Amino acid sequence: TMLRQVVGEVLGIEYDQIDMQTWSTDALPTDGGVGGARVTNTAGNAALQASQQVKTRLSEFLAERHGWSVEAIVFRDGQVMHGNEAMTLAQAMQSFGTEIAVQHTHVAQPASDDTVFTAQAAEVEVDEETGAIRLHRMTTVHDVATILSPINHQGQIEGALVQGVGYALMEELVYEDGFVTNAHLGDYKLPTMRDIPTLNTVLVRSEHDGPTPFGGKGIGEHAISGVAPAIVNAILDATGESFRELPVTAEKVYRRLHER
């Protein structure tokens, strides 16, 4: 979706009008896969610059054919416009007479201003009799720039919250004699809807754009980075006890509170 959105933004058409074809991995060099919030940066910038090349070639053709100024040509809402004159993008391509094929390789370079900041806070309630922890509310604040897909962006944040809650309070692999003894969902606890707190998301537009197309920044890994620390620090504030092993379960809290 992201790659089609980038191309659609440049060419002035809806992303669902773009057909993206994937290549066989047999025909491509070895790659480490998707991760590290790098796909939008690398593949996104390649798509951005390739689509800009298509736009430039078509604009130059139309300018020569119709006597238009290249700088005044606008691609918007599925149309190519120049002042009061307009045609659909499909008509423009038909007049070009053949497909425009381009290829662009983008090599991402690290930059000092690519840092993304996150602040997260948790509100918890701890039952001193049982050690049970109830997570009431999470506030998560993110340093952002241009957001390509608001729905997917928020989905990343909410997914990170759910994973972070499991990491902090319940998910634990138990080993015995080299074997995992809780390898099914009856014993390996995962967050359910009842475990998910009220979420307050705050997006702060920073002064510096990120490295992705149109100046965006990543929202993948860093959205989960502060969830568990925020929850554990909230438990410390409520009980006076600092826990240094995850998950912080009711049993661990109970033992700590009744040992002192």
Please give the Cα distance from 228 to 138 (Å, whole number): 11
Query: Is the confidence at residue 23, as pLDDT, over 90?
Result: no
Mean pLDDT of 132-149: 93
Tens of pLDDT, residues 192-243:
999 999 999 999 987 778 888 888 888 888 899 999 999 999 999 999 999 9
Q: Which of 199, 178, 182 shows the shortest CA–CA distance to 247?
A: 182
The conformation of residue 66, written as its DSSP 8-state character, comes to H
Mean of pLDDT values over 114-142: 94
pLDDT surpasses 80 at 110: no
Residue 26 has pLDDT above 90, yes or no: no
Looking at the chain, the whole-number percentage of residues with pLDDT higher than 90 is 69
d(CA 57, CA 11) in angstroms, rounded, equals 12
What's the pLDDT at 112? 54
Query: What's the one-letter identity of residue 52?
Result: Q
Q: For all residues of the chain together, what is the average pLDDT? A: 91
pLDDT at 36: 65
User: For 2-96, CATH number?
Assistant: 3.30.365.10
- Position 57 scores a pLDDT of 95
Query: DSSP letter at 260?
Result: -
> How far is the C-alpha of 260 from the C-alpha of 249, rounded, in Å?
18
Instruction: Give the residue among 86, 89, 82 at the shortest CA–CA distance from 58.
Output: 89
Delimiting residues of CATH 3.30.365.10 domain(s) in the chain: 2-96, 112-259
Instruction: Give the model confidence (pLDDT) of 148-167 as tens digits.
Output: 889 999 999 999 999 999 99
Domain 112-259 has CATH 3.30.70.890: no
CA 176 to chain centre: 37
Q: What is the pTM of this model?
A: 0.81
Nearest partner of 92 among 64, 125, 134, judged by Cα: 64
Residues recognised as catalytic: 221
Phi then psi for residue 58, to 5 deg, are -70, -40
Average pLDDT over residues 78-83: 95
Rounded-to-integer distance, Cα 34 and Cα 46, Å = 15
pLDDT given for residue 222 in this prediction:
87
Residue 42 in contact with residue 64, Cβ under 8 Å? no
Q: DSSP labels for 24-64?
A: PGGGS-----S-TT-HHHHHHHHHHHHHHHHHHHHHHHHHH
